[in-house]
Structure formats: C-alpha cells, structure tokens
Amino acid sequence: MKKVLLVTASLIALGATAPALAADLAARPYTKAPPMIQAAYDWSGFYIGINGGWGSSRNSWDSVAPFLVGPEGSHDATGGTIGGQVGYRWQAGTWVFGLEAQGNWADLKGSNTSTLFPGFVNTSQIDAFGLFTGQIGYAANNALFYLKGGAAVTSNKNRINAVATNALFARANDDTVWGGTVGVGLEYAFAPNWSVGVEYDHLFMQDRTVNFTSPAGVTVASDRIRQDVDLVTVRLNYKFGGPIVAKY
C-alpha cells in the first residue's frame, strides 16, 4: 500500500512540473542582430602618379645699376606642363597627413616690350619645376580634400631680343630659382587603388638679379626679376597597399 501511495505521489509531482519544464524549454533568449559593417576607404600608404595641366608665370623686370635704372614692365609666361609625383600618406580617423615630391616639365613662355628700352623685348620661359610639400587633409570615405605647402624650384631661361628683327640681343645664363608654394586639392578614389584629382598651386619665387651678355660675351644689361607662378593640374595616382578597412 505504501509503495502504491509513493508511486502515485511521484506521478502527481511529475505531472505538476512537466508544464513548467516545457515552458522553460520553449522560452528562447532574444539575441540582438550583429551591427552592419561599413567599408571605409583608407588613404594610408605610398603612392605614385602622373599629372598634367596649365601654368602661368608672372614676371616683372627692373633694370638695375650699373645700367639705366627703372622698371621695364611685366608679362605672363603661360603654357602647358606634364610630370609626376610620389608620396606617402597616413590616416588618423578622418584626418590625412602626407609628404610629396613632384617634378614637371613645362613650356611657360611670355614676353613684353621694355618700357625703359622700347627697342627691345624681354622674354621669359620656365621649362621645368619641382615641388616638395607636406599635406593635411580631411577624408570623407573615398573623397579627400587637402591643403599643401612647402618648397618650390623653377628652371628659367631669360632673353632680350631686338624688336625690329626679333634676333637675339642678349641672354642670361639659365638659372634655378627657389621659393615657396601653397596649394589645395580634391582627390577621389574611383577604384580600390586608383584615384583621380585636381590641384591648384601658387609658387612664390625669390627675386634675383640676372646679368645679360651679348653673343660676343659682353655684359649689356642687368635686371632684377620678380616671379610667381600659378598652376592647375589634373592628377592620377596609384596607391600601394590595402585600400579599405572595416568600420563598425
């Protein structure tokens, strides 16, 4: 009899707890969906590229002692340019920092009739230039806006021609002029490692005094030349290294 009562009590207890166990098994904890991963372009790494565009150099000439002293006027030397650049950038958040060296061939030519010596034409030409700059920029994913600044150097040819015949009257030794530059650019990455951009640069070149010698080797003029340059170029860059990172 006792065994029957014990079995009955056990069955009753089991029946009471079975619904609770079933309820526990049915309840599943809520799991939040994982956050979406957003791909962001990474501007860090070495890059190399080509550029081409247009430039204009403003040149002001002043005759100095021991010859007649006075202004001879100014002219713009304009033309095309093509070259290349190499650099390195590193990105910290949305800020991008970089260093770059750029070298270009150029054909910027211009002239004016001297206001002090009306029988002669002063001519200027920039046939090459280089830029050595630092950059700071702001990145919005694969778009980069940046400012740059640093040193600039130009290779110059200066001549004096006769107005009547356009023949060479005197020439100066080809000179290399150093100065500074500031610029601004906008670059867009259109493929994992490729980007295209447009850039404006202004070059502040140092004043210098140039001596002119005739074909016979006689010094016939001395001029102080002031020069600055404006450049607009389109750039194409290839960046080495991984182009994108995961951003949560």
pLDDT in the model for residue 76 = 98
pLDDT in the model for residue 3 = 47
Residues 6+ apart with CB under 8 A from 239: 43, 45, 46, 47, 189, 193, 194, 195
pLDDT in the model for residue 38 = 53
What is the C-alpha to C-alpha distance for residues 176 and 130, in angstroms, rounded to an integer? Answer: 11
pLDDT in the model for residue 241 = 79
Which H or E element spans position 10?
helix 2-26
User: Do 71 and 86 form a contact (C-beta atoms < 8 A)?
Assistant: no
pLDDT in the model for residue 33 = 53
What is the C-alpha to C-alpha distance for residues 120 and 223, in angstroms, rounded to an integer? Answer: 13
Residue ranges of the chain with pLDDT lower than 50? Answer: 1-14, 16-23, 25, 246-248
pLDDT in the model for residue 40 = 86
pLDDT in the model for residue 27 = 55
User: Do 96 and 90 form a contact (C-beta atoms < 8 A)?
Assistant: yes
Q: What is the CA radius of gyration of the chain?
A: 36
Return the closest-CA partner of residue 240 out of 45, 40, 102.
45
pLDDT in the model for residue 31 = 58
pLDDT in the model for residue 20 = 46
Residue type, 83: G
